[in-house]
């Protein structure tokens, strides 16, 4: 069970703003002959829950806007909110994207998307991504 927990932790970290790459570990574990179903469950659930950290940070971010040490300018947050308003909560289906996906989950928190909606949409997108990685490996 340990390899699955390691993948869960790697996928969790990859969903946050930390530089983790869970797909490489997933492919290595597939190559070792581990269960594709359990790897998919571990990666999808870890990555989805990791996105929850970003969502939570987004919900709390307004407490820090305007402070000198805070790295994000208020106008950047407003631009992100406007973008999110334009494309809506459905953009969370794209949270799996390697560039911008993590930011989408933070903005989902800023916009106070309810947890059930957030986690459902993010889980769909991230689960499909890992399914495609596994399928691609099996077809190669």
Query: For the residues of 96-134, what is the DSSP string, one character each?
Result: T-TTTHHHHHHHHHHTT--HHHHHHHHHHHHHHHHHHHH
Q: Report the candidate in 42, 9, 1, 12 with the shortest Cα–Cα distance to residue 133.
A: 42
The residue whose two tokens read 């269960």 is 35
Q: Which residues contact 22 (CB under 8 A, 6 or more apart)?
A: 7, 10, 11, 13, 14, 43, 46, 47
**Total number of domains in the chain:** 1
The segments of the chain whose pLDDT lies below 50 read: none
Q: Which residues contact 84 (CB under 8 A, 6 or more apart)?
A: 91, 104, 107, 108, 110, 111
State residue 1's pLDDT score.
Answer: 66
In terms of residue numbers, what domain contains 19? Answer: 2-139
Helix axes 36-60, 115-139, angle to 10 degrees: 150
Distance CA 80, CA 42 (A): 31
């Amino acid at each position: 069970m340990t390899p699955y927990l390691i993948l869960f932790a790697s996928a969790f970290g990859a969903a946050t703003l930390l530089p983790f790459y869970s797909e490489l570990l997933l492919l290595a574990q597939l190559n070792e002959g581990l269960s594709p179903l359990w790897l998919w469950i571990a990666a999808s659930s870890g990555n989805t829950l990791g996105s929850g950290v970003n969502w939570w940070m987004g919900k709390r971010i307004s407490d820090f806007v305007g402070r000198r040490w805070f790295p994000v300018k208020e106008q950047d947050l407003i631009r992100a909110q406007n973008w999110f308003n334009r494309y809506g909560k459905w953009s969370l289906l794209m949270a799996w994207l390697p560039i911008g996906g993590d930011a989408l989950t933070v903005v989902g928190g800023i916009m106070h998307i309810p947890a059930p909606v957030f986690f459902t949409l993010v889980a769909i997108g991230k689960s499909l991504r890992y399914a495609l990685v596994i399928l691609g490996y099996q077809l190669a």
